[in-house]
Amino acid sequence: MSFLVVDHVSKFFPGHAGSGEVCIFKDVTLKVEKGEFVTVIGHSGCGKSTLLNIIAGLETLSEGGVILNGREVSGPGLDRMVVFQNFALMPWMTVFENIALAVRSAYPDWGHKEVVAHVHKYIALVGLKGAEDKRPIALSGGMKQRVGLARAFSIEPKVLLLDEPFAQIDALTRGVIQEELVQMWNATRNTVFMVTHDVDEAILLSDRIMLMTNGPSSHVAEIVDVTIPRPRSRDTVIEHPHYYKIRNHVIHFLVRHAAHGVASERGTQGELSEAAPLVVRF
Amino acid sequence: MKTIGNGNPWLIRGFILLVFLGGWHLLTLRSSFEAKGKTDEQLQMMEFNGDIVRTGEGGYAWNPEKMKGVPGPLAVMEKARTELGEAFVIKGTNDHGIAYLVLYTVSRFAAGFLAASVVAILIGILLGLNRVLFRAVNPFIQILKPISPLAWMPLLLYTVKDPKWTAILVVFMAAVWPTLATTAFGVSSLKKEYLHVAAILQLSWFKRLCRVILPGAAPTIVNGLRISFGSALVAVVPAEMLLGELGVGYLSWIEWNNLDIAGVIFAILVVGVVGVILDSGFNKLAGLVTYQE
ipTM for the assembly: 0.88
Omega of the bond prior to B163 within 30 degrees of 0, cis? no
DSSP A167: T
CB B212 within 8 A of CB A90: yes
A13: left (phi > 0), else alpha (psi -120 to 50), else beta? beta
B52: phi then psi, degrees, rounded to nearest 5: -130, 160
Assigned fold of A1-79+159-263: Rossmann fold (3.40.50)
CATH code for position B187: 1.10.3720.10
Handedness of CA B144, B147, B149, B152 (dihedral sign): negative
CB A145 within 8 A of CB A85: no
Kindly determine whether residue A88 and residue B200, on different chains, have CB atoms separated by under 8 Å. Answer: no
Within a domain: B18: no
Residues B213 and B107 in one domain: yes
Q: How many CB pairs under 8 A join A and B?
A: 61
Within a domain: B155: yes
Within a domain: B84: no
Residues B115 and B165 in one domain: yes
Q: Residue B225: how many CA atoms within 13 Å on its side-chain side?
A: 25
pLDDT of residue B68: 67
Residues B229 and B283 in one domain: yes
Q: What angle do CA B171, B149, B145 make, to 5 degrees?
A: 110
Residues B125 and B212 in one domain: yes
A88 Cβ under 8 Å from any chain B Cβ: yes
Q: Which of A75, A91, A155 lies closest to B292 in CB terms?
A: A91
Please give the share of chain A, as a percent, with pLDDT higher than 70: 93
Task: Give the residue extent of every domain in chain A.
Answer: 1-79+159-263, 89-156
Q: Cα–Cα distance between A83 and A75 in angstroms, integer?
A: 17
pLDDT of residue A271: 43
Residues B269 and B124 in one domain: yes
CB A144 within 8 A of CB A87: yes
CB A68 within 8 A of CB A4: yes
pLDDT of residue B184: 94
A144 Cβ under 8 Å from any chain B Cβ: no
Residues B62 and B205 in one domain: no
Within a domain: B1: no
Kindly determine whether residue A135 and residue B291, on different chains, have CB atoms separated by under 8 Å. Answer: yes
pLDDT of residue A260: 55
Nearest CA in chain B to A56: B200
To test the contact with chain B by mutation, choose from A90, A147, A153 the residue with the greatest count of B C-beta atoms within 10 A, namely: A90
Q: Cα–Cα distance between B252 and B264 in angstroms, integer?
A: 5
pLDDT of residue A265: 44
Residues of B in contact with A76 (CB under 8 A): 196, 199-200, 202
Residue ranges in chain A assigned as alpha helix (H): 48-56, 95-106, 112-125, 141-154, 171-188, 199-205, 234-237, 241-260, 262-274
Residues B163 and B275 in one domain: yes
Q: Which of A57, A76, A88 lies closest to B193 in CB terms?
A: A88
Residues B200 and B151 in one domain: yes
CB A247 within 8 A of CB A203: yes
Mean pLDDT of A97-103: 96
Within a domain: B78: no
pLDDT along chain B (293 residues), means of 10: 72 93 86 76 83 78 72 87 84 83 91 95 93 92 90 91 91 94 93 93 93 92 91 90 87 86 88 89 84 76
Alpha-carbon distance B229 to nearest alpha carbon in chain A (angstroms): 24
Alpha-carbon distance A200 to nearest alpha carbon in chain B (angstroms): 27
Rounded to 10 degrees, what is the CA torsion of A125, A126, A131, A133? -70
Could you tell me the pLDDT band of residue A259, with boundaries at 50, 70 and 90?
low
Kindly determine whether residue B215 and residue A105, on different chains, have CB atoms separated by under 8 Å. Answer: no
In sequence order, the 6+-apart residues with CB closer than 8 A to the CB of B70 are B27, B28, B261
Residues B108 and B226 in one domain: yes
DSSP 3-state of B211: helix
The radius of gyration of chain A's CA atoms, rounded to the nearest angstrom, is 19
In sequence order, the 6+-apart residues with CB closer than 8 A to the CB of A188 are A153, A156
In sequence order, the 6+-apart residues with CB closer than 8 A to the CB of A139 are A95, A131, A147
Q: Cα–Cα distance between A232 and A175 in angstroms, integer?
A: 13
Residues B186 and B48 in one domain: no
DSSP B4: B
Kindly determine whether residue B196 and residue A92, on different chains, have CB atoms separated by under 8 Å. Answer: no
Q: Cα–Cα distance between A156 and A121 in angstroms, integer?
A: 13
Alpha-carbon distance B213 to nearest alpha carbon in chain A (angstroms): 10
Mean pLDDT of A101-107: 95
CB B252 within 8 A of CB B237: yes
Domain around B43: 35-66
pLDDT of residue A256: 87
B241: phi then psi, degrees, rounded to nearest 5: -60, -45
Residues B98 and B130 in one domain: yes
What is the domain count for chain B? 2
Residues of B in contact with A81 (CB under 8 A): 200
DSSP 3-state of B6: strand
Alpha-carbon distance B292 to nearest alpha carbon in chain A (angstroms): 6
Residue A269 has pLDDT above 70, yes or no: no
Kindly determine whether residue A78 and residue B200, on different chains, have CB atoms separated by under 8 Å. Answer: yes
Within a domain: B9: no
CA A116 to chain centre: 28
Give the largest CA-CA distance in chain A.
Answer: 63
Mean pLDDT of A91-111: 95
pLDDT of residue B49: 82
Instruction: Give the predicted TM-score (pTM) of the model.
Output: 0.79
Within a domain: B200: yes
pLDDT of residue A275: 63
Residues B62 and B97 in one domain: no
For residue A144, CA distances in Å to A97, A137, A151, B14 come to: 13, 9, 11, 49
Within a domain: B76: no
